[in-house]
Structure 1
Amino acid sequence: MSLFDQDEGLRARCSSSTPPASGGGSAQFLEVRHRGHAIVEGHIRCGKTTGFGRFLSRHFGINAVWLELSLAAIDLLAWTRILPLDGELAVAEPKKLRFRLLHVAARLTRGGRRLRLRISATWPWRNELATAFHRLAD
């Protein structure tokens, strides 16, 4: 039995990081392809830390619901990075966002037809959270 037997379902893939001397590929093309792949790997890493890589049960139905919820969380994090956040938090990993923004002790209050965000004065990222909140409110 060899590594390349089709019956086993295994596949081998070979890629070159050095362009061929005959001009069949350019260094720029390989660089763009490599960077595109790195972006995809970053999104996969983000998904795994959000729950995409862990299934709760041996039952398909439970895992299907967990997968849908994980995908919804990944989408919400992606939209949060794009719409209300800027600077360092716009490119932050889910773990950093979780500890800086999602676990904050804050209250939403309503009064005088306005929605207010009450954040503790000692919270280190209160300005970033308030800016994000105002962007969403506008």
Structure 2
Amino acid sequence: MFEATHCVDLSKWPQGTRLILRKERPHPGAQLQLHNTTSDGMRLTAFITDTPARVVPHQIQGLELRHRQHAHVEARIKDSGHLGLGNLPLDAFCHNQAWFEIALAAADLISWAKLLGFKDHPGIAKATPETFRYKVLHVAGKIVSTARQLYLKLDSSWTPSPAIEKGWPRIRTAFG
């Protein structure tokens, strides 16, 4: 990772703009492209910042960490669009305000359910809202009461069933 501000013409950018480059090993299944892949198979990524020098601890590494953390925020915002924030379907402001609150509550409930119930199942814990809805929320099941205990019965042929049956008591306890 290094600063490449001096290697390119940034005169059309605001004063203090800096260019940071980073080489990284591509994740499995990544679609590599000729223009951003080095000769040793590493992927080259870049980002621009206007943060002055010596503001962030461990300057370049700290800037890169902050940049990656911001990407998580943007991913959550994008996911919220799939939970009802992609459009505001009603005419009146107060009705759209209620829609917005319900969509935010849905986003929070899904986030908490993934965190609490599926921390040991990364495929579900890191799933997008669409995938989580398909794998967990749209599964037909039956809540059975036996000896004053509640159990969740699911179709055993459904691949995520063991993960859901293991995560359900944790979610129920947390929200119960």
Aligned mates of 2:156, 2:63 — CA distance in 1: 49
- Residue matched to 1:132: 167
* Unmatched segments (≥5 aa) in structure 1: 1-12
Partner of 1:71: 104
CA contact (8 A) 1:56 1:62 kept: no
Please state how far the C-alpha of 1:17 moved relative to its aligned partner: 2.7
* TM-score, normalization by structure 2: 0.63
Quote the residue 1:16 is aligned against.
Answer: 18
Is 1:55 paired with 2:88? yes
Partner of 1:121: 156
In 2, are the aligned partners of 1:17 and 1:30 still within 8 Å (CA)? no
Name the % identity.
30
Maintained 8 Å contact 1:49/1:94: yes
Q: Which residue number corresponds to residue 10 of structure 1?
A: none
Q: Structure 2: any 5+ residue segments left out of the alignment?
A: 1-12, 21-47
- Secondary structure, counterpart of 1:38 in structure 2: helix
Letter in 2 for 1:134: P
SS at match of 1:17: strand
Q: Is the 8 A contact 2:152 2:165 kept in 1?
A: yes
Change (3 A) 1:116 1:42: same
Look up the match of 2:115: 82
How far off its partner does 1:59 sit?
A: 1.1
Q: Is the 8 A contact 2:113 2:171 kept in 1?
A: no
State how far apart, in whole Å, the 1-side matches of 2:81 and 2:112 are. 17
Distance 1:67 1:33 in 2: 28
- How many residue pairs match? The answer is 124
The structure in which a higher percent of residues are helix is 1
Cα RMSD between the aligned structures? 2.3
Per the TM alignment, residue 53 of structure 1 is displaced from its structure 2 partner at its CA by: 2.0
2:61 paired residue among 16, 19, 28: 28
Structure 1 residues 100-123: Cα deviation after superposition (integer angstroms, max 9, x where no partner): 000001011212211011111221
The C-alpha deviation readout for 1:37-84, integer Å capped at 9, x for no partner, is 101101101111111221111210110110010010011011011111
Instruction: Give the deviation of 1:98 after TM superposition.
Output: 0.3
- The verdict on how the C-alpha distance between 1:16 and 1:60 changes in structure 2, with shifts beyond 3 A counting, is same
The amino acid that maps onto 1:76 is L
Post-superposition, which runs of at least 4 consecutive aligned residues in structure 1 deviate over 4 A?
Answer: none
Among 112, 119, 126, which residue is 2:147 paired with? 112
Q: Secondary structure at the match of 1:109?
A: strand
Identify the structure with the greater strand proportion: 2
